[in-house]
Amino acid sequence: LSGGGAKGMAHVGVLRVLEEMQVPVDLIVGTSAGSAVGALYATGMSVDDIERRFLELDWLSSFQDDPGRVYKPVRRKQNDWRLPLIPGLGVRADGFHMGGGLIAGQNLGLILNELTRNAALVNDFDQLPIPFRAVATDLETGVEVVIAQGNISEAIRASMSIPGVYAPVRRGGRLLVDGGVANNLPVSVARDMGADVVIAVDITDPLMSTEDIQEAFSVVGQLTTLLTRRNTDDQLALLTDRDILIRPELKGYSSADFYDGPELFEVGATAAREQAVALNRLSVSDQEWQQERTTLTTEQWRQKPVVAIRFHQGERLASEFLRERLRQRIGEPLDIVQLEADLKRIYGLGYYESVTWSLAPSEAGAILTIQAREKSWGPNYLSFGLNYEDNFNGDTRFNLATGLRMTELNRLGAEWQTGVQLGTQPWVRTQWYQP
């Protein structure tokens, strides 16, 4: 399953037709959006459930890091009112710094954790109901990275980390970004896993004509497509007469059309039905199909007791700083809703680039790991404010403000914030906060 942003929902329609025709799937490989759809199906989630979850998903929140005002402490809300412009600009002794992407991926990580919670305790992707691989790209070398084990939500997150938009994922000493940069249609990976027949679903954008390349955004889009189109063509060359290529007709749809799910599902299904003759030779009998579906039935989420909580974080804050903010108790079943609310509150403090959770199995129960990544551009941050008022009767007010927030001044999370405002209502303020 290839990458293509929102157009990846066409993959769901293809999977639906494969089930209608009783075509068994022995393994799945996906890149970017294809890895998200493929992972959900590989964990045993039904096509109906995948469609429902995609239609109910708050796609807009996946492109934001802000947890929402309700999860922020009072002082953060006050700062947001005085200095609402927070460009992600940090300052240290060696100069100014920015993050690795416009979006850290905090909300996206929580969404993927929830979607894949049935496989939260699976470390080896060969142990999933359907063996699965996600393809990412090593940002340092540009080579493809095939992810076969670990946290499956993190694997998806790495595979769909659009360079410059989402911050890269640190995994195994590497910085990983969207797999489309190196291998957008991973036919070779499916072959390496032992596939005899490959059903390749290509939703890669076609190259634009000269007449269509008129504006800056179209130029950037064309450069991105050049990267993915070339490696996709290389992968298409690996297909043989036994393989089946499905290309949904996606003209008029963009990689940002996340709320066109019903149409995209049907576009994918239509493209698959057009290959009905070729797919028919892969279908199995009713009895074989029922046996196949039985083996793919995944065990539904069971609340297992948490026997240990581990913290992976930087050295600037003590582990107790995080532990005190978690309501999860040892020996109690994992409460995902409560846990994610706690992590949002921790993220709302403003110290971390991302705060995620994962589970690992043990004989006694589940081991909960909290991964808190300190902001690479911190711990001191600049923010700005601009205010303009006019009553159209000669009363005009204009203010320009800036502030420096120095955080993590000790292991208990002390902060020192200083700000200045110039204009109609000037002020200078400084505040020390010690939790």
Q: What pLDDT does residue 402 have?
A: 96
Confidence class for position 361, pLDDT limits 50, 70, 90: confident
Confidence class for position 10, pLDDT limits 50, 70, 90: very high
Q: What pLDDT does residue 339 have?
A: 94
- Domain ranges in the chain? 5-63+103-297, 77-101+377-433, 305-374
Q: What pLDDT does residue 257 have?
A: 92
The domain defined by 305-374 folds into Ubiquitin-like (UB roll) (3.10.20)
Q: Which of 77, 24, 21, 51 is nearest to 272 (CA)?
A: 21
Angle at which helices 106-115 and 152-159 pack, to 10 degrees? 130
Percentage above 70 pLDDT, the chain: 97
The answer to whether residue 74 scores a pLDDT higher than 70 is yes
Q: What pLDDT does residue 328 have?
A: 92
- Helix, strand, or coil (residue 409): coil
∠ CA 148-153-159, nearest 5°, is: 65
The answer to whether residue 28 scores a pLDDT higher than 80 is yes
**CA gap 309, 311 in Å, rounded:** 7
Q: Which of 363, 284, 202, 331 is nearest to 26 (CA)?
A: 284
Segment 387-408 mean pLDDT: 90
The answer to whether residue 87 scores a pLDDT higher than 90 is no
Q: Which of 152, 155, 169, 150 is nearest to 117 (CA)?
A: 152
The answer to whether residue 244 scores a pLDDT higher than 80 is yes
Q: What length does the chain have? A: 435
The answer to whether residue 146 scores a pLDDT higher than 90 is yes
Q: What pLDDT does residue 161 have?
A: 93
28, HSE (Cβ side, Cα atoms, 13 Å): 29
Confidence class for position 36, pLDDT limits 50, 70, 90: very high
- Select the more confidently predicted residue: 100 or 197: 197
The answer to whether residue 85 scores a pLDDT higher than 90 is no
- Select the more confidently predicted residue: 162 or 301: 162
Q: What pLDDT does residue 303 have?
A: 62
Q: What pLDDT does residue 246 have?
A: 97
- Select the more confidently predicted residue: 303 or 97: 97
Segment 6-16 mean pLDDT: 97
Rounded to 10 degrees, the C-alpha dihedral 105/108/113/115 comes to -160
Segment 37-43 mean pLDDT: 96
Lowest mean pLDDT among 207-211, 358-362, 387-391, 403-407: 207-211
Taking only the tens place, the pLDDT of each residue in 368-378 is 999 998 888 88
What number does CATH give the domain 5-63+103-297?
3.40.1090.10
Confidence class for position 297, pLDDT limits 50, 70, 90: low
Segment 281-289 mean pLDDT: 94
The answer to whether residue 138 scores a pLDDT higher than 60 is yes
Q: What pLDDT does residue 401 have?
A: 96
The answer to whether residue 298 scores a pLDDT higher than 70 is no
Do the beta carbons of residue 125 and residue 117 sit within 8 Å?
no
Do domains 5-63+103-297 and 305-374 share one topology? The answer is: no
Confidence class for position 302, pLDDT limits 50, 70, 90: low
**CA gap 389, 425 in Å, rounded:** 12
Segment 147-173 mean pLDDT: 93
Segment 158-173 mean pLDDT: 91
Segment 384-395 mean pLDDT: 88
The answer to whether residue 189 scores a pLDDT higher than 70 is yes
Segment 46-52 mean pLDDT: 95
Do the beta carbons of residue 156 and residue 134 sit within 8 Å?
yes
Segment 5-31 mean pLDDT: 96
| H helices present in 163-247, as ranges | 187-192, 216-236
CA 6 to chain centre: 13
